[in-house]
Structure 1
Amino acid sequence: MNGLTAEAPEAVQHGEPAGPAIAHGVSRLAAWRPWLLGAAGLVMAAMAVFALDRLSQEIDYASVVAALSAKSLGLLALAVLAAAVSYTAMIGYDLSALRHVGPEPAVPARIGALAAFCGFALSNSMGVGAFTGGAVRWRIYAAAGVKPGQIARILVFVTASFSIGIFFVAAIGVLLQAGQMQGWFGLDATLLRVLAGLTLLAMLGVALLGRFKRTALRLGPVTLRVPGAKLVLAQGVISIIDLTAAAVVLWLLLPDGAVPLPSFIALYVVAIAIGAASHLPGGIGVFDAVVLLAFQGGPVPLDQVAAALLLYRAIYFVLPLLVAVLLLTGFELRHRVPAVAGGARALRASTRLMPRFLGVLAFGAGAALLLGGIAPPVEGFEPGFMLPNLPQPLFEASHLLSSVGGLGLLFVAYGLAHRLDAAWWLALLLAGGGILLSVVRGSGVLELTLLTLLGVALLTSRRRFDRRARMFTPTLSPGWWLAVACVLAAATWLLFFAHRDVEYSRQLWWRFELDENAPRAMRATLAVVLLAGAAGLWSLLKPAQSRAERPDAAALARAVAIVEAQDRADANLVRMGDKALLLTPEADAFIMYGRRGRSWIALYDPIGPAAQRIELVWRFVEMADAQGGRAAFYQVRPDSLPLYIDAGLQPLKLGEAARVRLSAFELKGKARQPLRTAINRAEREGMTFEILRPAEVPPVLDELEAVSRAWLDQHKAREKAFSLGAFERDYVASQPVAVVRGAERQVIAFATLLDTPGARTDMSVDLMRHRPDMPPGTMDFLFTKLLLMAKEQGYGFFDLGMAPLSGLAAHRLAPIWYRLGGMVFHRGERFYNFRGLRAFKEKFDPVWEPRYLCTAGGLDPWVVLADVAALQSGGLRGVIGK
C-alpha cells in the first residue's frame, strides 16, 4: 500500500525498512571491516611465514620424513583417541547451547551432537567463505524445527563459549607455568602472571556483573543473557577437557620426555589463542610457528617437532573431516528413511551439506596431490614401484599430469561447493585419474586416502549436485583465490626446502631419470604456477557478468507469463518493469532485483517452479560476487530459508505479513461488528464497490490518477519504487482495480489488485489511494468487500502485506536488531504509524507470517536496508524527504 487514512495508516503494504539513516551510517565501516580483518590476518600470516622460513634453516627434510616413519601405530592410536575425546567434549558446547536457549521443539541430543561434530570438523579444516560451522549448524537445526532467532542464539553461545574457553584456559596455563613460558619466549614471568591474573579477574568480573545485574553478553548482532553459575562451570569444564585432550594429541607425537605435560598444555593453549587471533583456519602457520619457536635451541630437534606438527594436523584436522564425510555418506546411503520426525528431517538435511564437505575434501586432496609431486617420495612408495617397466616418457608424463590434476582439483572444489553437475563429473574424473597416477609415480598414504574417499563420496552423493551449469559459471571468490595462492606458495617453498641440497643448473630442467626427483619437482612447480597464472589472467579478462538493467518488452512479457502461472500474488510487482530480471535458461523462472552501490537486492523469493529456485539463488549470489557486490534477498518467506542458508546467507526478521485465511473469514460474531457497521454505513451513504477488469481500467484512468495525485499532495509524498507500486498508467491498467464510488458515482477510493487467477491461492493489493474528503469507514468497506469477493471466488488467502518491525522483541536480552526494531515499533509513532498499521490489519483476524532479509552477516544487513530504502524512494534524498 502506498498509504491509508487514520483507519489504515500511511504505510506501504510490503513494508519499508526502518532506520535507514542508521544503516547508512555504518556502510563505510561495513566496507572497511573485511579489509581490516584481512589485513590483520595477512600481517600475522606474513610474520608466521617469516618465522617458519627462519626456523626451517634448522630443519632437514629427510630427518622430518624419518621422524614421521618412526612413529608406532600404538602411539598414533593413542593420539587418535585423544582427538576423539577433544571432539566429544566439543559436542558439549552445542548441548549446553541447546539447554540454555531452550528451543521449541526440543532438539534431540544426537542431532546436537551431529551439528557440533560436523560444524567443528568443517570450520577447523577450512574457513573460506560459506564453509563455516555456523552454516552447518543452521542447516541441521533449521531442519529440526528450531526458529531462526533461536539458531542465532545457539551460534552465539557456541562461538562465545569456544572462544572464551580458549583464552580462559590459556590464562590459567600462563598463570601456572609462567616460569616455563619465560624460558620459551624470553618474557618476564612476573609480568606474565600479572597479565594472566588480570585476564581471569576481568572474565570473572564480567560474568558476575552480568549475573547479578542481569546484563547480557553481546557477540556481533546477537545478544544472550549470561548463563547461570552451573552452566558457566560446566562450560569451563568442557573447555578444559577439550583443550587438554587436544594438547595431548600433539604431546604424544613429540619425542618422549620432550616437555612435561602440564607445561606443554600451557604452551598449547597460548599457541591456540594466538592462532585464533589471526583468523586463519586452524591458526595454520601461526600456531606452528609459536610451537617451533618455543622449542628452538632446546634439547628436542626441530625436525622431531615439525614431524609431530604434521601428524597433529593430519589427526586433529584432516581425520575428523574424513569421518564427517563418511558419516554423511552413510546417511546418504540411508536416504529412504522417512523424514517425518524432526530428528529424521535433520539427518536428511545434513546430507545436503555434502557439497560443502566435498568441496573442502577436494581442495585438500588437490593440495596433497600437488604437494606430493614436489616432495621426494617417502619410503615404501618408490618411483615406478607398481609399473617398473613403464617407459620413461610415460612415467615423467604421469608425474607432471598428477600435479596438474591436483591444481585442477583446487579449482573444481569451488564448483563442488556450489553444487555444479559439471564439477561433479570433473572431480570424479580427476579423483580416479589421480589415484592411478599417484600409485604409478609413488605417492603417500594421505593423498591416496583422500582421493579414494573423495571418489566414493562423489558416487554416493550424485543427486546433491543438481545445478545444471557450466563449470566456470561462478567466478572464484577472492578468498578462494587466496587459498589457491597459499597452496602454490607452499609448493614453491617445499621445492626449495626439500631439494636445497641439489645444486642448481640449467641442465636440471631437461634431465629425465627415474631417480632424479628434483627435475620433476621443478617441472611440476613451473607447470602448475603457469597454469594457475593463466587461470587468474583469464578470470580477470573474461567478459563481466550481466548488469542490473531494466528488462526489455520480450523479457517482461515472459516474466508476466511466469507470474500468471504461479501462486504468489505479490510477484505481480514485476509488471512495474523497474527491476532487472535474472531468468533461467528455460525462461520458466526468474528473480527480480535492484542494485544500489555494492548491494544486489532480490525482491522476494525466486518466482517459478520449485525445482528452479535453487539454481536461481546460487546464480544470483555468484553474479553479485563476481562484481564485488553483496547479495541480498528482501522479504522472503520462512519456508524458503534453507535455500539462502545453503548459499551462505543469514536471515534477519523484518516484520510479519498479515494473511487472512478466507475459508474462516465471515462477518458473524461480536468481533466483526465494526466491519458490519462500516458496510451498513457505506451502503446507506450510497457508496458502491466494484472490480474493474484490466480491459475496463483505461476509461477511468484519468479519474484514478486524479485521486492518486490528491492522495500524494495530502501526504506530501512522492511515488515509490522497487518493493512498492507507483501510479504508472500502463502498470495500473495491467491488473484488476477495486474502486469505491460515492453517491454521485465518482471514484473516492481505489486499490490495484495483485492476483493469481490460475492457481487462485493468493490475492493482495498494491496501490491504495483515496480522496482527502472520503467518508469515514471507506477503507474498511473497501477491504471487507475485497475479502468477501475473494472468498466467493475460491481464493485461499488474502495477503494484507507486511507490518514492518512487527513481531520483533524489544526485550533487553533480545538481539540488537530485534531490540532496536521493537523499540521503534512501540515508540516510533511520531515517524511512522507502525502499531496503527498492525491494528488496522488485526481487524480481519489474519495469520501473521514472518518475513526475512537474507544476506551476509556483520554490518551487511544494515547497509542493505539503507539501500532498499534508497531504491524505494529514488535515493537517500527521497528517504529523508518522503
Structure 2
Amino acid sequence: MNGATTTEPRDDLRGDATEADTPPAAAGLRLAVLKPWLLLAAGLIMAGLAFFALDRLSDELDYAAVASALAAKSNAVLLLAVLAAAISYTAMIGYDLSAVRHVGPQPPVPPRIAALAAFCGFALSNSMGVGAFTGGAVRWRIYAAAGVKPSQIARILVFVTASFSTGIFFVAALGVLLKAGQMQEWFNLPAPLLRGLAALCLLAMAGIAVVGRLRRTALRLGPVTFRVPSPKLVLAQGVISVIDLGFAAVVLWLLLPEGAVDLPSFIALYVVAIAIGAASHLPGGIGVFDAVVLIAFRGSEVPLDQVAAALLLYRAVYFVLPLIVAIVLLSGFELRHRVPALKGGARALRASTRLMPRFLAVLAFGAGAALVLGGIAPPVDVFEPGFNLPVPQPLFEVSHLLSSVGGLLLLFVANGLAHRLDGAWWLALVLAAGGLVLSTLRGSGFLELSLLALLAVALLTSRRRFDRRARMLTPSLSPGWWLAVACVVAAATWLLFFAHRDVEYSRQLWWRFELDENAPRAMRATLAMVLIAGAAGLWALLRPAQTRVARPTPEQLARAVAIVEAQDRADANLVRMGDKALLMSPEGDAFIMYGRRGRSWIALYDPVGPATQRVELVWRFVELADAQGGRAAFYQVRPDTLPLYIDAGLQPLKLGEAARVRLAAFELKGKARQALRTAVNRAEREGITFEVLRPEEVPPVLPELAEVSRLWLEQHKAREKAFSLGAFEPNYVASQPVAVVRGADRQVIAFATLLDTPHARSDMSVDLMRHRPDMPPGTMDFLFTRLLMMAKEQGYAFFDLGMAPLSGLAAHRLAPIWYRLGGLVFHRGERFYNFRGLRAFKEKFDPVWEPRYLCTAGGLDPWVVLADVAALQSGGLRGVIGK
C-alpha cells in the first residue's frame, strides 16, 4: 500500500466498535442511569400527594350531587365547550407546522400531513401519554412515510416537545404574574413571592432565547439540545401556546357554574394546574391536575360537587372526544384507501391507517373502563337518559354482572389489539357487540354505548390491520399495562365505597336482588372483577418459564442458509457461524438471528426473508423477549425498515454509517482513483496475484489461511470475535468464497471471506479480512480494488464495505447527547479504536454512506444493550476489557 496516500484499517473491515468504554460515555451513562429513577420518583410522589388530596376532598363530595350536576349541563354549554376544544386542537397543529418549518425536511412535508400527524399525535398522547402509545411514535410513522429522514424526524419531535412544554410553563408564569392576587387566595401563598417566581421564570426563558441567538448555543430539553429558533418563530410559538392553552381553559371554564370565576383568573389557574400535572409525567396530568383545581375552589362559594362534575365533563370533551374523532378520521382513510386514486400524500395517509391498532387499543381500554365503572356507579347519563327496557329481573342482574366482567376482559384484550393479533380483533369485536347488548339491557347511558358502538365499527373497518396470528398468552402484559388494569380495578373499588357510602353494610346485601338496589349489584360486580384480575395476575406469576435460548440444530442452520441464499442482503450470511439462535417464521421461509446476554435479547440485522414476514417476526421477537422479562433490541438495522420497530414500541438510535459502493459507477479512471491504480499496478509488477476460491476449493488452503489469521491476531493483540463479526472457524470459512492474495512466492499474504447473494446479485461484502504483518504496502488496496471490479463484472449492484462505527454522529453542541458523545469519541477516541482510520480507508472507494441503527426501548436500555453487544462480540466482559 502506498503509505503516503492511504490508511490501513486497524481491525476487521466490518468494524463493530463497541468494545471500549470512554470517559465521555461514562458521564452520559451516569446521567442515563439517574434520570429515569428521578423522574419516576417525582411522578410517584406527586401522584401520591394528588391521591391523598383527592381522598380528603371526597369527604366534601356527594355522588348524587355530582351526578345531578352532570345531568344538568345544557346542550348549548356542551357545544360551546366542544367548539373551544376544537380551536385548542387546531392551534396545537401549529406546533408541528412550526417544527417542519424550522427543520426544513427534504422533501417538504405538505401542511395537511403535518396537521394529521399533530392531531393524531396529541389525541393519542393526551389519552395514554407513555410507552408504545406516545404521540412521538405516531408522528414518526407519518413523517417517515412522507419521506422525512430519521434525523430530521427526531429534530421535529424535539421541537414539538420543547415548544409544547415550554409554552405551558411560559403561559403559567405569565398567568401567575398577572393574577398573583387571586393565586394568593387559592393557594395561601404570598402574592409578592408568586410574582417574583413568575418573573424569574419569564426572565430565564427570555435569557435562554436571547443568549441562544447571540451565541448560537442550544436550547436544552433534558438530555436533548437543539438550535434556538429565530425570534419570529419564538413569537409565533408563544402565540400558539396562548391560543392553545387559553381555549383549553375555556373548555373547563364553560363547564363550571356560571359566575364561578372570571375567565382571565381561571386561565391563570388552569395553566398552573396543567404545568403541575405535566411535571408529574402522568397522562393528561390525571389526578394531579384535578386535585389542584379542586383545592383552588375549596372553601369558595362554588360547590365542589359542581367542580368535580365539570372536571369529568372536561376529560370527556378535551381528551375522549378528540380520540374518537381521530379514530373516525382514520376509519374514513381506511375505507377511502380501498378505492384507488389517492393523489399527493397517499403514503402518509396510508401510514396513518396503520396506526389504527394503537388507537383501537386505547379505545378498547377506555370502553372496558367505562363498562367496569358503569357497573359500579348508580345510573347517571351525561347527555340524555339511558335505555331502560322492560326486562325480567334475572336477565337484568345477569346482564349487569356480565357487562362488568366483559369490561374487565376488554382491558386485557386491548393489549392484544396493540400487538395486532387477529384473535384479539375477534375477541374485541365479540366483547364490543356483547357489551352493546348487555349495556342496553342494564340501562347504560349514551356515552358508554357510543364508545362500544364506535369500537365495533372501527374494528370492522380496520380488519386487515390485524394480520398477526393470535397467541393470546403471548405477549404477556407489561408491568405498565398491569398497573393500568390495577388502577381501573382500584378506581372501581373506591367508587363502590364512595357512591354507596350511605348504604349500611350487611351480609344480606350480597343476596339482595331488586331493580332499585344498585349497591348489591355493584358489590357482586366488584368482587367478580377483583377475583378475575387476581387470578390473571397469579397465573402470570406462576406460569412456566419459556425455553432457553439454544444454538440452531444442523437442520435449522441448513434451512436458514437456504433462505439467505435466496434473498438480497449479503450480511445475513453471518448466520453460517451457527453461534446465534434462530426465530423462524411459521412457514419456515424467514428468520431472525439473535443472541442473549442477561435481559438483553439482541437481534442481529433485520429479519431475513420475504418482506411480508418481517412484521410478524419483529412482533414475535419483541413478545418472546417480553415473555421472559427481557428487553428486545435490533442491532444494525437499515433505515428503510425503521417503521417496523417503531410500530413495536422501540426507538431508533444511530450507530454509524455503512459504506456501500455503487458498482455501476465504480471505475479506476480519473484523478480520484490514482492511488488505487498505483496500488494495483505496483502489486502486479511485484508478482502479487489475486484469486477467489469457491467453497469447495477452500479446505486445501485452510492451514495456510489459519497461519495468516494467527499472525494477524498476534499483531493486533486481539482474540476471535463473534455475534456481529465472523471468527476463523474452519467450517465457517469453508462455507463461502474466499478472496486470497498471494505474493511472488505463491504464499498467501492476505485473505477476505466473502458474503454473497448469488441469486439476487444485489450485494457482496466481506467479513474476515486478515493479512500477514510483513505484507507489501498497498496490498489491501489491491485486494479490495480487485474485489470491487470482479463484483462489477459479475453484475452485482453494491459492494458493502461494512459499518464505520460512530461515523456521521456530529460532535456539535447543538446535537442530541448521544450524537455529541459518539461524535466526540469518533474524533478523539483513537486510543480506543481506529474510528477515523477505518472510515478513511473506506472513503477511498467513494461509497454511499447509509445509516445503521440500534432499535430498543428508551431510557437506560440503549446503553445496556450496547454493553451486552460488546460482551457477545468478545465472549463476555472479560473479553471486552482484554480485546
Interval of TM-score (by shorter of Structure 1 and Structure 2):
over 0.9
Are 2:571 and 1:570 equivalent residues in the alignment? yes
Moved more, 320-329 or 684-693: 684-693
The 5 Å alignment of 1:678-827 reads: 678-827=679-828
Name the counterpart of 2:14: 14
Structure 1 stretches lacking a partner, 5+ long: none
Q: Is the 1:636–1:851 contact (alpha carbons within 8 Å) kept by the matching residues of 2?
A: yes
**Structure 2 residue aligned with 1:536:** 537
Distance 2:286 2:817 in 1: 33
Secondary structure class of the residue paired with 1:9: coil
SS in 1 for 2:131: coil
In structure 2, give the amino acid aligned to 1:13.
L
**Structure 1 residues 340, 254: closer, same or farther in 2, change over 3 A?**
closer
- 1:420 aligns with 421
SS at match of 1:146: coil
- With 789-798 and 751-760 compared, the bigger mean Cα shift is at 789-798
Q: Per the alignment, in what secondary structure is the counterpart of residue 480 of structure 1?
A: helix
Alpha-carbon offset, residue 221 of structure 1: 4.2
Q: What is the distance in 1 between the residues matched to 2:448 and 2:33? A: 39
For the 8 Å contact 1:27–1:863, the answer to whether it is kept is: no
Matched position secondary structure for 2:799: strand
Shift of the 628–321 alpha-carbon distance from structure 1 to 2, 3 Å rule, reads same
CA distance 1:384–1:347, change in 2 (3 Å)? closer
> Which residue in the other structure is 2:407 paired with?
406
CA 270–383 in structure 1, closer or farther in 2 if over 3 Å, else same: closer
More deviation in 542-551 or 167-176? 542-551
Cα deviation digits, residues 759-807 of structure 1 (max 9, x gap): 2221111001111111222212211222222222222221111122222
Aligned ranges 1:605-616 → 2 under 5 Å: 605-616=606-617
Equivalent position amino acid for 2:474 in 1: T
C-alpha contact (below 8 Å) 1:383/1:514 kept by paired residues? no
Shift of the 585–31 alpha-carbon distance from structure 1 to 2, 3 Å rule, reads farther
What is the aligned counterpart of 2:101 among 90, 99, 102?
Answer: 99
Q: Does 1:479 align with 2:507?
A: no
Tell me, yes or no, if the aligned pair for 1:24 and 1:863 is still in contact at 8 Å. no
Deviations 1:399-448 (A, max 9, x none): 11100100011001111111111111110110000011101100011111
Aligned to 2:255: 253
SS class of match (2:225): strand
Residue of structure 2 in register with 1:352 after alignment: 354
Q: Which of 120, 123, 127 is matched with 1:121 structurally?
A: 123
Partner of 2:334: 332
Q: Distance in 2 between matches of 1:674 and 1:341?
A: 49
Q: How much has 1:130 moved relative to structure 2?
A: 0.5
C-alpha distance in structure 2 between counterparts of 1:835 and 1:727, whole Å: 26
* Alpha-carbon distance, 1:305 to partner: 0.6
Corresponding position of 1:880: 881
Distance 1:835 1:470 in 2: 47
CA offset digits 1:216-248 (Å, max 9, x no partner) = 012244321111111111111111111110111
Cα displacement (A) at 1:846: 2.0
Query: Within 5 Å, which residues of 2 pair with 1:658-669?
Result: 658-669=659-670
d(CA) in 2 for partners of 1:866 and 1:219?
26
In the superposition, relative to structure 1, how do residues 590 and 25 fare at CA in structure 2: closer, same or farther (>3 Å)?
farther
State the Cα distance separating 1:341 from its structure 2 match: 6.5
Q: 1:20: how far off? A: 3.0
1:496 corresponds in structure 2 to 497
Q: Establish whether residue 460 from structure 1 lines up as the match of residue 491 from structure 2.
A: no
For 1:184-583, list aligned pairs within 5 A. Answer: 184-336=186-338, 343-378=345-380, 385-386=388-389, 388=390, 390-583=391-584
SS at match of 1:659: strand
Report what 1:145 is aligned to. 147
Moved more, 501-510 or 18-27: 18-27
Contact 2:590 2:607 in 1 (8 A): yes
Query: What is the CA–CA distance in structure 2 between the aligned matches of 1:420 and 1:221, rounded to whole Å?
Result: 36
Counterparts of 2:583 and 2:222 in 1: how far apart (Å)?
Answer: 33
Q: What is the SS of the residue equivalent to 1:211?
A: helix
Which residue is equivalent to 1:155?
157
- Deviation for aligned residue 1:7: 4.1
Question: Identity, % of aligned pairs?
Answer: 83
**Per-residue displacement from partner, 1:634-658 (whole Å, max 9, x unpaired)?**
1111110111111122222222211
1:290 corresponds to which letter in structure 2?
V
Q: CA separation in 2, counterparts of 1:610 and 1:84?
A: 40
Alignment deviations for residues 533-579 of structure 1 (CA, whole Å, 9 cap, x no partner)? 11111111112234433223332222222212211111111111222
Q: 2 CA distance for matches of 1:698 and 1:560?
A: 19
Deviation at 1:164, TM superposition (A): 1.1
Contact 2:722 2:875 in 1 (8 A): yes
On the 8 A contact 2:14/2:766 being kept in 1, the answer is no
SS at structure 2 position matched to 1:190: helix
Secondary structure (helix, strand or coil) at the match of 1:605 reads coil
Amino acid at match of 2:854: L
Residue 873 of structure 1 deviates from its aligned partner by: 2.0
CA distance in 2: counterparts of 1:478 and 1:594, whole angstroms:
24
Q: Return the alpha-carbon distance in structure 2 between the equivalents of residues 384 and 804 of structure 1.
A: 65
Partners of 1:128 and 1:808 in 2: CA distance? 28
Distance 1:163 1:544 in 2: 43
Farther-moved stretch of structure 1 (183-192 vs 443-452)? 183-192
Paired letter, 2:232: K
Q: Distance in 1 between matches of 2:723 and 2:40?
A: 34
Deviation at 1:825, TM superposition (A): 2.9
3-state secondary structure, aligned to 2:634: strand
Q: Which one-letter code corresponds to 1:458 in the other structure?
A: L
Q: Distance in 1 between matches of 2:140 and 2:791?
A: 38
What SS does the corresponding residue of 2:642 show, helix, strand or coil?
helix
When structure 1 is superposed on structure 2, of 567-576 and 23-32 the one drifting more is: 23-32
For residues 845-879 of structure 1, what are the alpha-carbon distances to aligned partners after superposition, in whole Å with 9 as ceiling and x for unaligned? Answer: 22221111112233432332222222222233333
Query: Bigger CA drift: 552-561 or 597-606?
Result: 552-561
C-alpha separation in 1, matches of 2:387 and 2:310: 29
| Aligned equivalent of 1:176 | 178
Aligned partners of 1:707, 1:383: CA distance in 2, in Å? Answer: 83
Alignment partner, residue 70 of structure 1: 72
CA drift at 1:124: 0.5
Residues 132-152 of structure 1, C-alpha deviations (whole Å, 9 max, x = no match): 011111111111111111111
- Specify the alignment match of 2:869 in structure 1: 868
SS in 1 for 2:607: strand
The CA deviation at 1:24 is 6.0
In the alignment, the residues of structure 1 paired with residue 664 and residue 338 of structure 2 have an alpha-carbon distance, to the nearest angstrom, of 36
C-alpha change, 1:338 and 1:32, in structure 2 (3 Å) is farther
Look up the equivalent residue of 1:876 and give its one-letter code: L
Q: Which amino acid aligns with 2:115?
A: A
Q: Which amino acid aligns with 1:787?
A: L
Residues 654 and 804, structure 1, Cα contact 8 Å, conserved in 2: yes
User: What is the CA deviation profile of residues 177-221 of structure 1, one whole-angstrom value per residue up to 9, with x for unaligned ones?
Assistant: 222112112122222122112111222222222121211012244
Q: Once the two structures are superposed, what CA deviation does each residue of 1:694-713 show, in whole Å capped at 9, x if it has no partner?
A: 22212211111001001111
Are 2:175 and 2:267, in contact at CA under 8 Å, matched by a contact in 1?
Answer: yes
CA distance in 1, matches of 2:801, 2:576: 19
Quote the residue 1:60 is aligned against. Answer: 62
Q: How many residues align?
A: 876
Contact 1:377 1:443 in 2 (8 A): yes
The 2-side partners of 1:11 and 1:587 are apart by 36
CA–CA separation in structure 2 for the residues paired with 1:681 and 1:172: 74
Rounded to whole Å, the distance in 2 between the matches of 1:160 and 1:578 is: 44
Q: 1:28 to 1:236 in 2, by over 3 A?
A: closer
Give the CA deviation at 1:668.
3.2
Normalising by the residue count of structure 2, what TM-score does the alignment of the two structures yield? 0.96
For the Cα contact (< 8 Å) 1:20–1:865, is it kept in 2? Answer: no
Give 3-state SS (helix, strand or coil) of 2:735's partner: coil
| 2-structure distance, mates of 1:223, 1:152 | 11
